[in-house]
């Protein structure tokens, strides 16, 4: 059985019956081999080895076969090797005819051979041998000398066998496992192998025909990304739960664990999956029950509180603001008293239905009391947005309801709280919305009211700033400051970051932390950044004409700008137009921009990099990108976020920064630290191999002319101290 196996294997390798390579042996057999000392040398060379050799000098009719060769063929020293039949005596019966044919055609026609065959020993064991032979001919073409070598390859064949059997056993174990096993390649998120049961499940999944791209199968890509990130970071993963989408509209939940293995030469994740759908469904059911109002199916008070907590927490982490609308039906008590509870219940049901149809899926509609409802509307940051929604609700509920043949007019009043302008936890927000609701009712039915004067004051201020920013952009009212970057070793200025500055006509300087988000929201960011970039290019061009050496100037690009249509062409054209080389500017993009739309970020940064514009990853460490895939973005530099530098005193933080530097270096990235404020920080960063420093310790952002003076002075200094 095992023999057949190996045989198959060998045949497969050479694609024919028994191994045979036509032009194999080099037939430069020595013609003076009759010489006894040569025989001796042959024997000596073969001693302790597992190969043997032989020759036949036809001219002198001398032949010799070394003891090793005889032993392999199973012939003792007395056997006359000049008879072909003798040589064949122990060849396996199934192989004999073939081997004999090859041997004869060697002697008759001078055809060299290279073959593998089996030898049967007297005791029934089977061994493998590999034989090669060639021939030498005279100038007239007469065959003169034949010589060959014979190796015992039994061990080699057996090892191959064992390997193959264990590989097969391993494979069949995986193939027939009762749970899905898949092998994926994290680098391109592709599926590389699926076992039997996995294939069945794959067919039931809702994914484009023939896809091998894992995000195509999962409901929530972030679940897969978390798993992938963990595998890449640690080489294995803890248990994760992943939801897969089925063709029939349902989903399956899997508990998965993975470990990084070498699969066909690639680092791949060997992933074992366990179906936990039932448990999930049960949990979901329990969760729903605990969260819903039994009459209307809307969320209940507990769930509302939970959603509000969650929304407040997300806001703290930087998510957009939201609105809490509290509404009270105007005529409910009357309907209930006059038409009975069942009509009252129907009305509540119908109201819940209409409200749900007006909001987005991510919003929450809750019934919080007899005839009181609440809505948490996510991503709602403006008074205008909240007002529009409140008006829509009032309009919708003022359409008469037809309930059991009775037409009922309900109508409602609404109080609105807007977070984060109305700051506070969920209870506070409920109180604010309630106060606003009372005011709305005071104003007369069918009205809405927003909580708080402060709110309207701030909203007003924002509106004004928005308007003024538009004016500033129209009138070229922004300027650029330059914050130099310094060589970490020598503390010489070698580059700079361009930062937008806005001097408001009445308020004085407004910080970019205020006007950049405003510009983003108002859709002005691309215009703003193009103005900044234009100014920077003009300054560089001026400095170049004066012979001021500044080093590269980096400019911040927002996600909206980087992804905007023809952003790259615009940049490259401008540089060309002003005669500024691509190497004179760098683009800073934040880590979060890169993650937002990975695909297009990659293609944009690659194009810039191809044109010679270096890419710098800003605020590194605040997002969740893995260092490993920064290479794909063709990043050239990494700027460690200021928060890490500020907290370098914390050991854990310092260790993290050290790791970022060392991994960054191993990826060939230059490392910049920003926000360096103390000597101690600078020393530490220098010691761990950081390349460039930026921060108040060395220089604040300064106007263009000051920066020019600094670089000119620097240059002069250099010229003075350099000996030539
Ligand atoms: P950023 O890109 O991280 O810029 C660095 C910010 O850190 C600058 O603040 C700089 O003044 C400040 N900084 C530098 N060294 C120190 C230090 O040692 N300590 C402290 N506490 N701060 C330091 P700035 O100029 O207020 O800019 C704030 C942010 O505004 C920038 O953060 C950037 O995200 C944004 N920004 C500025 N100009 C532009 C622009 O043209 N486009 C975009 N998209 N964003 C810009
Ligand atoms: Ca920056
Ligand atoms: Ca930064």
Nearest C-alpha to atom 10 of ligand 1 is from which residue? 701
CA–centroid distance, 406 to ligand 2, in Å, is 64
- Supply the residue whose CA is at minimum distance from atom 25 of ligand 1: 499
- Ligand 1 nearest atom to the CA of residue 588, by list position: 2
CA of 640 to the centre of ligand 1 (A): 13
Q: Is residue 168 scored above 80 in pLDDT?
A: no
Which atom of ligand 1 lies at the shortest distance from residue 561's CA?
A: 44
Q: What is the pLDDT of residues 623-638, one digit of tens each?
A: 655 565 677 788 999 9
Q: How many CB atoms lie within 10 A of CB 154?
A: 18
pLDDT interval class at 490 (50, 70, 90): very high
Q: 678-704: buried (b, 16+ CB within 10 Å) or exposed (e) per residue?
A: eeebbebbbebebbbbbbebbbebbeb
State the average pLDDT over residues 395-408.
90
How far from each other are the two terminal CA atoms of the chain, in whole angstroms?
82
Write down the pLDDT at residue 545. Answer: 96
**What's the whole-number mean pLDDT along residues 328-353?**
90
Residue 484's φ and ψ, nearest 5 degrees, are -65, 150
Determine the distance separating the centroid of ligand 3 and the alpha carbon of 638, expressed in angstroms: 10
The rounded distance, in Å, linking the Cα atoms of 588 and 113 is 67
Q: Would you give the DSSP letter of residue 321?
A: P
At residue 79, the 3 state secondary structure works out as coil
CA–centroid distance, 491 to ligand 1, in Å, is 21
Which has the closest alpha carbon to 70: 111, 42, 30? Answer: 42
Q: Note the pLDDT of residue 607.
A: 94
Q: What's the confidence (pLDDT) of residue 399?
A: 94
Query: Is the Cβ–Cβ distance between 137 and 110 less than 8 Å?
Result: yes
Ordered DSSP codes for 474-530: HTT-EEEEEEEEEETTT--EEEEEEEEEEEETTTEEE-HHHHHHHHHHTT-HHHHHH
Within 8 A by CB and 6+ apart from 553, the residues are 482, 495, 496, 497, 498, 536, 539, 540, 584, 585, 586
How many angstroms is it from 499 CA to the middle of ligand 1? 6
CA–CA separation, 13 and 19 (whole Å): 8
Q: What is the pLDDT of residue 558?
A: 95
Query: For 329, which DSSP code?
Result: E
Protein residue with least CA distance to atom 19, ligand 1: 675
Pairing status of strand 614-620 against strand 637-640: parallel
Rounded distance, CA 393 to CA 359, Å?
A: 9
User: What would the pLDDT profile of 641-673 be if each residue is shown by its tens digit?
Assistant: 998 899 888 887 888 888 888 878 877 889 999
* 83 contact partners, CB below 8 Å, separation of at least 6: none
Question: How far lies 131's CA from each of 127, 284, 653, in Å?
Answer: 13, 70, 66
Cα separation of 297 and 303, whole Å? 12
pLDDT in tens, 592-619: 788 777 888 889 999 999 999 999 999 8
Query: What's the 52 CA to ligand 2 centre distance in angstroms?
Result: 73
For residue 356, pLDDT beyond 80: yes
Whether the CA torsion 137, 143, 147, 148 is positive or negative: it is positive
pLDDT of 7 reads: 36
Q: Which ligand is nearest to the CA of 513?
A: 1
Answer whether the bond into residue 420 is a cis peptide, omega within 30°. yes
Average predicted confidence (pLDDT) for the chain: 86
Task: Report the pocket of ligand 1 as residue ranges, CB < 6 Å.
Answer: 483, 499-500, 511-513, 516, 529, 532, 556, 558, 618-619, 642, 674-677, 694-696, 701
DSSP assignment of 433-463 equals HHHHHHHHHHT-SS-EEE--HHHHHHHHHHH
pTM equals 0.47
């Amino acid at each position: 059985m095992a023999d057949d196996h190996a045989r198959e294997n060998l045949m497969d390798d050479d694609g024919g019956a028994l191994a045979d390579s036509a032009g194999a042996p080099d037939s430069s057999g020595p013609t003076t081999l009759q010489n006894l000392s040569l025989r001796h040398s042959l024997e000596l060379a073969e001693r302790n080895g597992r190969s043997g050799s032989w020759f036949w000098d036809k001219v002198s009719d001398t032949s010799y076969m070394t003891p090793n060769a005889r032993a392999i063929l199973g012939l003792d020293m007395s056997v006359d090797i000049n008879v072909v039949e003798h040589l064949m005596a122990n060849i396996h019966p199934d192989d004999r005819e073939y081997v004999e044919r090859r041997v004869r055609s060697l002697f008759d026609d001078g055809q060299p051979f290279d073959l593998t065959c089996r030898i049967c020993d007297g005791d029934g064991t089977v061994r493998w041998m590999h034989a090669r032979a060639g021939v030498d001919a005279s100038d007239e073409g007469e065959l003169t000398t034949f010589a060959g070598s014979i190796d015992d390859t039994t061990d080699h064949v057996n090892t191959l066998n064992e390997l193959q059997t264990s590989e097969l056993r391993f494979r069949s174990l995986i193939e027939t496992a009762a749970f899905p096993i898949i092998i994926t390649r994290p680098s391109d998120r592709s599926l590389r192998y699926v076992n039997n049961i996995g294939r069945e499940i794959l067919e039931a999944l809702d994914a484009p025909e023939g896809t091998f791209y894992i995000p195509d199968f999962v409901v929530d890509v972030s679940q897969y990304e978390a798993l992938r990130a963990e595998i890449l970071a640690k080489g294995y993963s803890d248990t994760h739960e992943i939801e897969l989408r089925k063709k029939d509209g349902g989903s399956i939940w899997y508990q998965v664990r993975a470990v990084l293995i070498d699969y066909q030469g690639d680092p791949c994740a060997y992933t074992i999956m366990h179906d936990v759908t039932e448990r999930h469904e049960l949990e979901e059911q329990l969760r729903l029950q605990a969260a819903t109002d039994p009459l209307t199916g809307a969320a209940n008070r507990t769930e509302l509180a939970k959603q509000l907590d969650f929304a407040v927490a997300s806001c703290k982490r930087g998510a957009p603001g939201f609105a809490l609308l509290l509404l009270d039906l105007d005529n409910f008590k009357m309907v209930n008293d006059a038409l009975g509870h069942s009509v009252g219940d129907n009305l509540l049901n119908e109201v819940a239905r209409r409200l749900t149809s007006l909001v987005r899926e991510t919003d929450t509609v809750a019934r919080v009391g007899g005839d009181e409802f609440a809505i948490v509307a996510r991503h709602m940051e403006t008074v205008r947005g909240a007002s529009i929604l409140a008006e829509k609700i009032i309009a919708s509920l003022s359409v008469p309801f037809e309930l059991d043949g009775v037409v009922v007019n309900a109508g409602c009043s609404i109080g609105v709280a807007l977070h984060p302008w109305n700051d506070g936890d969920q209870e506070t927000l409920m109180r604010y919305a309630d106060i606003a609701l009372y005011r709305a009712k005071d104003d007369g039915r069918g009205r809405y009211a927003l909580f708080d004067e402060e709110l309207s004051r701030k909203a007003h201020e924002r509106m004004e700033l928005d308007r003024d920013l538009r004016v500033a952009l129209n009138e070229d009212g922004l300027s650029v400051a330059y914050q130099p970057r310094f060589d970490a070793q020598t503390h010489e200025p070698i580059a700079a970051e361009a930062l937008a500055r806005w001097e408001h006509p009445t308020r004085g300087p407004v910080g970019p932390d205020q006007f950049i988000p405003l510009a983003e929201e108002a859709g002005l960011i691309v215009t703003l950044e193009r103005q900044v970039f234009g100014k920077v290019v003009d300054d560089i061009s001026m400095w170049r004409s004066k012979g001021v050496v500044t080093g590269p100037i980096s400019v911040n690009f927002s996600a909206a700008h980087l992804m905007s249509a023809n952003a790259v062409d615009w940049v490259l054209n401008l540089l060309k137009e002003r005669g500024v080389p691509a190497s004179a500017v760098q683009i800073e993009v934040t880590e979060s921009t890169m993650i937002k739309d990975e695909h297009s970020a990659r293609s944009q940064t690659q194009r810039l990099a191809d044109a010679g514009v270096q890419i710098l990853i800003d605020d590194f460490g605040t997002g969740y990108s893995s260092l490993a895939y920064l290479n794909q973005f063709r990043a050239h530099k990494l700027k460690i976020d200021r928060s890490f530098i500020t907290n370098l005193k914390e050991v854990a933080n310092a260790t993290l920064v050290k790791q970022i530097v060392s991994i960054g270096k191993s990826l060939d990235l230059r490392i910049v630290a920003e926000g360096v404020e103390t000597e101690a920080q600078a020393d530490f960063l220098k010691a761990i191999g950081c390349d460039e420093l930026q921060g108040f310790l060395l220089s604040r952002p300064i106007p263009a002319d000051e920066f020019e003076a600094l670089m000119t002075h620097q240059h002069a200094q250099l010229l003075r101290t350099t000996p030539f």
